[in-house]
Amino acid sequence: MKKKHIFLILFSLYCFFGWSQKGTPTEAEIEKKVTELLSKMTLEEKVGQMTNIAVTIFETKGQPGVFDMAKLNEAVQKYHIGSLQNIPNSGAPTQKKWNEIMTSINNETNKTRLKIPILYGIDAIHGANYTAEGTLFPQEIGLAATFNTAITKKGAQISAYETRASSIPWVFSPDLDLPRNPSWSRIWESFGEDSYLTTQMGLAMVEGFEGNDAGSKYQVGTCLKHFIGYGSTTTGKDRTPSIIPERVLRQYDLPIYEAAIKAGAKSIMISSGEINGTPVHASKQLLTDILKNELGFKGVVITDWKDIIYLHTRHKVAETNRDAVRIAVLAGVDVSMVPEDYSFYTDLLDLVKKGEVPMSRIDDAVTRVLRMKMQLNLFNSNISDPKDYPKFASQEFIDEAYKAASESITLLKNSNAVLPLNKSEKILVTGPTANSMKYLNGGWSYNWQGELSDSFASGKMTILEALQNKAGKEKVLYTLGADLAIEDDAEIQKAVELAKDASKIILCLGEKNYTETPGDIGNLYISSSQIKLALALSKLNKPIILVLNEGRPRLISDFEDKMNAVVQCYLPGNEGGRALADILYGDVNPSGRLPYNYPRYSNSLEKYNRKYTESLGDEEQNNDAKYEKSYNPQFEFGTGLSYTTFTYTNLKIDKAEINNTDSITVTVDVKNTGSKAGKEAVLLYLTDLYASITPEVKSLKRFEKISLAPNESKTVTFVLNPKDLQFVNNDLKWISEKGTFRIQISDLKQEFLLK
């Protein structure tokens, strides 16, 4: 009798957990198991699943990275927490250390009644950047500059592989914010200013991270961020208000998330900001009516750091923290990144018991959490075996990161072909970003602000080291030249004196490593200490190559005209120094293009897809007056030079007239008419000449990256569909209107009529 009883228990456990041994369960199996498990859970266990805590609260006081197991026990056994995030205060753990951390957590959850595994998430935004020795790629703004979705997808696949190797199944990526102010501190976490480019890159990243099976031991679940309108602050400061008409939100921002949701993204993080006076975390219209109901999102909706608490302390829409919990959960939040106490748990428990939050809302949220855990196959062993990940930090992966950096770096100016350099000439390398890995990686690198990059990436090459490795130390002079912030005339004079012995100057400027609010600035111009260095060197009348390492376009108009070449590196990652050196010396032909307009002045921040009234010139009505042109960026979106030349011919469209259900096929011939092999991003823009909502001057609709040998030609084909001709009208409907449309590729144009 006793043996039979044991057999029945084991059989029951197999029926519940055994399916996972066969791989990720089917959708039908998941829904059935979620329903069964939900029916067995207490209210306390359910509310625990909605609670996300930072792993740092388990650390022993004064001992970063050392867990107090009693604190972990309390979190799991008393508060039933469902998810964890962040890294120890000691910085990025090794792959082995991550597995030890995850094993400790797993052992604790296995002591619980239902043995529901913890869901662990990490900010793996440009590679496994929170695992020591992980492969670091360019930040998203650099990936956007490649205009190559294959590179972006491959990078996400490698990031997924190395993150799962650390036993972590969930990444807070991709960032799909559409920034409208270039001073915003998270520009570099985005794919730039264009909605279509962001959509395509976001899709590539979701596909790379999740693959066909996010529960695979080589894939991870994604968390899109930050829904929605986060990058549109009127002040340009992080976590400050936005004013965005719903028509604009629906035309430019919402389609980005809609596409990623259709691609299978498992979770979404909510914007820390507010739109038109309503914090997004408090908006039932955005989170439930639009995101969950209209877009049909079935995944997990999670807050950002402390953002329910901030409804009370910052936004002032909730009189108490308890009221903030009620507002956010009823708006549609499923999981609260509390993340340093259990206030959300205790307040939500009380709210449900007193009938202020219905059990149906709790069950919906917990269903989403359990579904995601099963989709990620966490009920199977969620601890990775290192033997399954032989490619971790491999040369193969490093080569892919190098390739991504090489295609991201953008040549914006090259007067009199000052580039490429000759290895026989002596150069001076100077500037505050020339000799530190911090300025190649930026934030979210080994820790939050990225200040540990020089120690964690000590085996990688800075710009200076890469140039010395390339040409020999005897050909590469160096001095700091300037601090990022502090003006030092003596340092500038050192650079001026040393430059007299060099034939060319590599001037490395930029900004500090940062992310979020610590990156807020009050002045978009590059720092005065750097401007002073640039102007001093320019008086020598020697060729200067300006190399920019920056997360956003810091204004350089005070001295750009005195630079012979300008190279935008963005934040290219650990292989960025090598990639830049190869580009400067001509071993790699640059092919990046700007994913945003680079402004010339701080009060002239028009986007490339501006309205006609933003670019008045010869049509200005007061043509007898002197005035500055309305639209005059330093460099326009899509700018990117090469060491070869590409000629565009034979732009053709297959129909001169279409109706609103027709597609249109566009072809163009591209020829490499120079002497070097090169890659070219072919960009197709569309213009609606007249519309009831004022049309844009032009809007990117398609792009393709191609490679051409000298004298080689390719025909590039694009297909536009009816949705490409549509816009959102004042009734919030997507419509197209009859009239003439213009297609532009390079300087070629063709028009067609929509009947």
Cα 689 to the chain's mean position, in Å?
33
Instruction: Give pLDDT, residue 617.
Output: 59
Do strands 83-85 and 544-549 pair parallel, antiparallel, or not at all (unpaired)? unpaired
Q: Residue 557 — pLDDT band, cuts 50, 70, 90?
A: very high
Over the stretch 734-744, which tens digit does the pLDDT of each residue have? 999 999 999 99
Kindly tell me if the per-residue pLDDT of 751 is higher than 60.
yes
Kindly tell me if the per-residue pLDDT of 18 is higher than 90.
no
Closest by CA position to 587, among listed 423, 476, 427: 423
CB of 55 closer than 8 Å to CB of 22: no
Instruction: Give pLDDT, residue 615.
Output: 81
Instruction: Give pLDDT, residue 3.
Output: 42
| Alpha helices, H only, 585-631 | none
Do you find a cis peptide bond into 228, omega within 30 degrees of 0? yes
Tell me phi and psi for residue 302, to 5 degrees. Answer: -115, 145
pTM equals: 0.95
Catalytic residue flag (residue 587): no
Over the stretch 27-43, which tens digit does the pLDDT of each residue have? 999 999 999 999 999 99
Instruction: Give pLDDT, residue 523.
Output: 95
Enter the tokens of residue 726.
């549509």
Looking from the CA of 427 toward its CB, the CA atoms found within 13 Å total 29
Q: What torsion, rounded to 10 degrees, do the Cα atoms 272, 274, 278, 282 define?
A: -10
Over the stretch 566-605, which tens digit does the pLDDT of each residue have? 999 999 999 999 999 999 999 999 999 999 999 999 999 9
Kindly tell me if the per-residue pLDDT of 745 is higher than 60.
yes
Amino acid at 184: W
Over the stretch 432-491, which tens digit does the pLDDT of each residue have? 999 999 999 999 999 999 999 999 999 999 999 999 999 999 999 999 999 999 999 999
First to last CA, the chain: 81
Q: Judging by beta carbons within 10 Å of its beta carbon (0-12, 13-18, 19+), is residue 111 exposed, middle or buried?
A: exposed
Over the stretch 1-13, which tens digit does the pLDDT of each residue have? 344 443 333 334 3
Instruction: Give pLDDT, residue 619.
Output: 58
Compute the mean pLDDT over every residue in the chain, rounded to the nearest whole number.
94
- Average pLDDT (334-360) is 98
Going from the C-alpha of 616 to that of each of 597, 608, 629, 635, the distances in angstroms are: 17, 14, 6, 18
Instruction: Give pLDDT, residue 67.
Output: 85
Kindly tell me if the per-residue pLDDT of 626 is higher than 70.
no
Catalytic residue of the set 175, 238, 253, 304: 304
Q: Which residues pair with 630 in a beta bridge?
A: none
In the chain, the percentage of residues whose pLDDT exceeds 90 is 92
Instruction: Give pLDDT, residue 5.
Output: 43
In the chain, the percentage of residues whose pLDDT exceeds 70 is 95
Over the stretch 388-411, which tens digit does the pLDDT of each residue have? 999 999 999 999 999 999 999 999
Instruction: Give pLDDT, residue 469.
Output: 97
Most distant CA pair in the chain, distance: 104
E strand map for 558-698: 565-568, 646-653, 657-658, 664-672, 678-688
Kindly tell me if the per-residue pLDDT of 339 is higher than 60.
yes
- Average pLDDT (610-617) is 83
Report which DSSP code applies to 735.
E
